[in-house]
Structure formats: structure tokens, C-alpha cells
Structure 1
Amino acid sequence: MRTLKYAILGLLNKEPMTGYDIGKEFSRDLGEFWNAKHSQIYPELKKLLDEELIVFEIQISGEILEKKLYSITEQGKKAFLQWLKKEEPLEPTPKDVFRLRMYFSNNLDVTTRIHLLEHQLHQHQERLKHLSRNKERYESIPPLDSDNFGDYLVLDGAIVRETVTIQWLENYISYCKK
């Protein structure tokens, strides 16, 4: 399953983009739950072109700078919508090095445990601030047929995830300090 294929098709289904623009999307909104590097994006764009799921037009910027503006074809839209409608089985729990360390934390002194928990807490608090700032662009939940509904849905889920993780860390920091 080439999930990156469908992420790119989804972006191009919203609007035509350059490869650079697609990369920026992975460092912004999509980066909260999916990532891809330019070194992955450009080979995938080539495959999508070969499969006739996307096309491009050359745009001239300035006097000599050429850039390719990619857009989705009808065949690409069909493939994207077919993928979008599939039910997804629950993925295995993602690997989490911090939780693995905490599993074996009985081998650490309490001060070190507290330090590691507090460090993790700080990182999750910073992530929650970032997510909350992103959510400020919405006054309310966007309409179901809006291009922004999916972004809001995933963003809200990420905020809930971070809030629960912060609560979990605070509980155990408190417990370790007793």
C-alpha cells in the first residue's frame, strides 16, 4: 500500500500544487499525523505521472525559473475516492521509545524518573500549545462538506491525545514525588 500516493492525490484533489508546495503541506498540517520528505515526494510524483493519476504544466516564474504545477486527473480522483472509502483496520500501537524506557524504569532512581517524566511533559505541553494555536483559526467546527472539516477533525483528535498524555504524565510525576 503506497499511502504517500493517496496523501499526494488528496492534496492535489484540493488544488494544483508544485512538488515544493506538497512538501510544505507535510511540514504543516499533515505533519501532525503523517510525514514525507522531498526525497520521497518526487519519486512518488513520477510514479503518479506514469500511472496517469496526475498531470503537470510548466509555469515560468521570473525570467527563467520553471516549476511544475501538478494537478489530479479524473482517473486520479477515482483512485483517491476509492482509497478514501476503504475501512481501515486498527494499526498496531506505534513504537514509543519513551514508554519502553518507562516500562523498565524500575531500574532508575526516582530523581532520574521524575526528570525524564518532566522532560516528556514539557515537550507534550509545547506540542499542545502549537496545536491549540492552529485550532484558533477556527471559530467553530467547519461544516461537514467543507475542505476544512477533515483538518479540524484530525487537529481536535491530536489535541485530545496530547491533553490525555499530559494528564497521564502529571499523574505519575505527582505519584513519584510522594
Structure 2
Amino acid sequence: MRILKYAILGLLYNEKLTGYDITSKFKGPLGQFWTAKHSQIYPELRKLTDEGFIQYEVVVQGTKLEKKVYEITSLGEKELSEWLEKVERDSSVNKDEFMLKTYFISAMEKEEAYDLFNDQLVKRKENLSKLQKTLSLLEEDEIPITFSSPQFGHYLVLTRAIEREKGYIVWLEKTIDLLK
């Protein structure tokens, strides 16, 4: 399944965007739980255009620079809606290199394992701090966070990410105590 297809359709459902704008979204809030590279996005935009799910307008910026501004079509909205309503059997995608290393911890020296876990703890605490700052900014916005607000989905994903990081930190601290 082409999940990137639906991520792009969802972004374009909210607003018209250039390919550059879409790439930037994956470096922002969306990137907290889903990633895509420039080299994946542009071929997907071509496919979506060919399938009639999106269309674009060429806009001239300055004297020579042309850029494509994409928008979702009614067919694209229907496709997005069908995907959103579809119940998935298992939506978890787990590729966590740190957990893979943890699984094989018996192949490490105790000091190496301790360093690995301490490094991960520092990274998780930094990530938690960034997420909490983002949440504070979102909550400071003058638009109340309700189901109908455009930021509601971001709020839900952000609060889940914060809880995930808090749980991860607790587990890391307990594991470090075991390694001492």
C-alpha cells in the first residue's frame, strides 16, 4: 500500500502546496511520526496527478521561476475519505534500530550497553523537551483546540508522542538501574 499517497492527499486536503512545501511538512509536525524523502515525494506527486487525485497550476514567481502548486481533486478527496474510513488490521510499523540492538544486548560488554542506554536516554529527553515546547506553542494559539479546529489532529498526535517519550524514558531509566 502506498501510504505516502494518503499523507500527500491529506496535506493537500488542508491547503494548496508546492512540492517543496510538502517536503517541508515532513520535516515539521508530520515528521514526528511519518517520514518521506524528497526523492519519494516528487515521483508520488506525478503518480497522483496521473491518477487524477491531484492537479497543479504552474505559477511564475519572480521573472523566471516556475513552480507547481498542487491541490486535491474531488476524486482525491473521495480516495482519501475511503482510506480514512477503512479499518486496518495492524497499522503498526516497527523499525527501531535501538530496540534491535537491545534485543541482542548479550553480545555487548556491560559498559557498551550502559553507554548505549545513556545515549538513548539523552536523545529521548531532548525529543520530549521539543515536543513539549511544540505543544505549548499550539496551546498558546488563539484558536481553541476542538474537533473542528485545523490543529486537532496535530494536537492528538503530539500528545501521544509526548506520552510515548515519557514511557520510553521511564523504561530507559529502569534499565540503566539494572545495568549499574
Same fold (TM over 0.5): yes
How far is the alpha carbon of 1:71 from its aligned partner? 0.6
Shift of residue 89, structure 1, vs aligned partner: 1.9
Name the aligned partner's letter for residue 165 of structure 2. E
Q: Does 1:3 align with 2:3?
A: yes
Task: Give the counterpart of 1:149 among 137, 149, 152.
Answer: 152
Q: Distance in 2 between matches of 1:100 and 1:22?
A: 31
| Aligned residue in 2 for 1:172 | 175
What residue number does 1:111 align with?
111
TM-superposed CA distance for 1:138, in Å, is 2.4
Residues 26-78 of structure 1 show CA distances to partners (whole Å, capped at 9, x for unaligned) of 11111111111111111111111111111111111111111111011111111
Deviations 1:110-147 (A, max 9, x none): 32221111011111111111111111122287101111
Aligned partner of 1:49 in structure 2 is 49
CA shift, 1:93, in A, is 5.7
SS at match of 1:69: strand
List alignment gaps of at least 5 residues for structure 2.
Answer: none
Q: Give runs of aligned pairs for residues 1-178 of structure 1, distance below 5 A.
A: 1-91=1-91, 94-139=94-139, 142-177=145-180
Question: Any idea what SS the aligned residue of 1:13 has?
Answer: helix
Q: Distance in 2 between matches of 1:91 and 1:159?
A: 20
Report how far residue 88 of structure 1 moved.
Answer: 1.8
**What is the letter of the counterpart of residue 175 of structure 1?**
L
Relative to structure 1, the CA distance from residue 62 to residue 121 in structure 2 (aligned partners, 3 Å threshold; closer, same or farther) is same
Q: Aligned AA for 1:96?
A: D
TM-score by length of 1: 0.93
Q: Which AA in structure 2 matches 1:150?
A: G
Instruction: Give 1:3's aligned amino acid.
Output: I
- In 2, Cα distance between equivalents of 1:31 and 1:92: 16
Measure the CA separation in 1 of the matches of 2:23 and 2:175.
Answer: 38
Cα distance per residue 1:78-133 (max 9 Å; x no partner): 11111111112224561322222222323433322211110111111111111111
TM-score, length-scaled by structure 2: 0.92
The alignment covers a number of residue pairs equal to: 177
Structure 1 stretches of at least 4 aligned residues deviating more than 6 Å after TM superposition: none
- Tell me, which stretches of 5 or more residues in structure 1 are unaligned? none
Which has the larger displacement, 39-48 or 12-21?
39-48
